């Protein structure tokens, strides 16, 4: 595996290759969710580039930027084991200057749900993803459905800015007890983790209701809310893939999303129907 930490070195390699490039952007603290993206990228491309960069512009003041888990040595080993071809580890001075051209996430799709609680979060995500796309020039880029709104916005950015990149949507990977994998799960104590299992439980209840032909979103949200009673619910929401709220489930075009806080840890999860 080639570990590269300058933009120019990466550009030189990419410029001289005719191989198809698969790209998995990450903020490190890699877990099985990331590994599944890397595996898919390996299956579908000649070369796989993984980036690790904890992007400050997507954290709001008071969020966990300073305590965000950094595990560079373990991450390198994981990438090696997954046969990643290039691990790109830029630093902040390379990635950002002063008084830059800024990307603004579209209002309708971004200032709702996550964006409503975390204004400007998606501006920062799109800013860094576009920069990384421009450096790596991938054919295919891999993103998990767990960050459903992020995925939807990245797809919109690719369409709106005519980027020639295929965005590959990858399924949510869960722990054996159902908790969706997240780098933030390590913040949870044992009792907090047990409480968190209600998140995936409520999503299972929702999908069972849909399977029984209950398509009324209010009814589904009420049933989910009962399971999440003991938690600090930020939202339970049902939207179509453009992130517009819907009243009736539209099969193959619906995402049911949850965000809760377990003490100081914010957890999100969803299912696609
Ligand atoms: O999903 C993430 O880990 C980040 O938001 C991303 C896409 C790597 C951008 O920093």
Report residues whose beta carbon is within 6 angstroms of any ligand 1 atom.
25-27, 55, 58, 125, 128-129, 147, 150
The DSSP letter of residue 85 is S
pLDDT bucket at 111, cuts 50 / 70 / 90:
confident
Write the residue with the smallest CA distance to atom 9 of ligand 1: 125
Residue range 51-80: mean pLDDT, rounded = 96
pLDDT bucket at 32, cuts 50 / 70 / 90:
very high
Catalytic residue among 10, 23, 24, 34: 34
What percentage of the chain carries pLDDT values higher than 90?
96
pLDDT over threshold 90, residue 184: no
The best mutation among 23, 24, 25, 34 to test binding of ligand 1, ranked by most ligand atoms within 8 Å of the C-beta, falls on: 25
pLDDT of residue 183: 87
Distance CA 21, CA 210 (A): 39
Residue range 27-50: mean pLDDT, rounded = 97
For the segment 221-242, what is each residue's pLDDT rounded down to a tens digit? 999 999 999 899 999 999 999 9
Place of tokens 């993206």: 37
For the CA of 54, the closest atom of ligand 1 is 10
- Tell me the C-alpha to C-alpha distance, in Å, between residue 219 and each of 14, 125, 174, 206, 229: 51, 33, 26, 9, 15
Helix (H, G, I), strand (E, B) or coil at 34: helix
pLDDT over threshold 90, residue 147: yes
Write the residue with the smallest CA distance to atom 1 of ligand 1: 26
In the chain, the domains with their CATH numbers are 2-170 (3.40.50.620), 183-268 (3.30.1300.10)
- Beta carbons within 8 Å of 23's beta carbon, 6+ residues apart: 41, 48, 49, 50, 51, 132, 133, 136, 138, 140, 141, 142
Write the residue with the smallest CA distance to atom 3 of ligand 1: 26
Residue range 79-105: mean pLDDT, rounded = 97
pTM over the 0.85 mark: yes
The best mutation among 30, 58, 110, 173 to test binding of ligand 1, ranked by most ligand atoms within 8 Å of the C-beta, falls on: 58
Distance CA 271, CA 46 (A): 31
Residue range 177-196: mean pLDDT, rounded = 94
- Ligand 1 centre to CA of 218 (Å) is 31
Mean pLDDT of the chain, nearest integer: 96
What percentage of the chain carries pLDDT values higher than 70?
100
The best mutation among 52, 129, 154, 184 to test binding of ligand 1, ranked by most ligand atoms within 8 Å of the C-beta, falls on: 129
**Interior angle at CA 157, CA 151 and CA 159, nearest 5:** 105
Query: 175 with 181: CB under 8 angstroms?
Result: yes
Q: Which token pair is 100?
A: 């830059």
Quick check: is 121 catalytic? no
Helix (H, G, I), strand (E, B) or coil at 40: helix
């Amino acid at each position: 595996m080639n570990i590269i930490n300058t933009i120019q070195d990466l550009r030189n390699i990419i410029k001289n290759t005719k191989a198809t490039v698969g790209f998995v952007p990450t903020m490190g603290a890699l877990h099985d969710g990331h590994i599944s993206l890397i595996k898919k990228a390996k299956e579908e491309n000649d070369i796989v580039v993984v980036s690790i960069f904890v992007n400050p512009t997507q954290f709001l003041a008071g969020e966990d930027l300073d305590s965000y888990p950094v595990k560079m040595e373990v991450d390198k080993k994981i990438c090696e084991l997954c046969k990643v071809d290039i691990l790109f580890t830029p630093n902040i001075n390379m990635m950002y200057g002063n008084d830059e051209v800024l990307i603004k996430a579209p209002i309708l799709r971004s200032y709702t749900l996550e964006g409503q609680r975390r204004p400007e979060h998606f501006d920062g995500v799109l800013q860094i993803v576009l920069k990384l796309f421009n450096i790596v020039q991938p054919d295919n880029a891999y993103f998990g459905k767990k960050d459903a709104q992020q995925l939807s916005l990245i797809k919109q950015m690719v369409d709106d800015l005519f980027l020639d990149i295929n965005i590959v949507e990858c399924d949510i990977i869960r722990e054996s007890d159902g908790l969706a994998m997240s780098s933030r799960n390590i913040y949870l104590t044992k009792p907090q983790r047990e409480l968190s299992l209600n998140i995936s439980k409520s999503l299972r209840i929702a999908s069972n209701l849909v399977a029984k032909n209950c398509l009324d979103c209010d009814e589904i949200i009420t049933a989910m809310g009962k399971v999440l009673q003991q938690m600090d619910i930020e939202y339970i929401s049902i939207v179509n893939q453009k992130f517009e709220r819907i009243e009736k489930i539209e099969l193959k075009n619906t995402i049911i999303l949850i965000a809760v806080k377990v003490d100081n840890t914010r957890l999100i999860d969803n299912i696609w129907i």
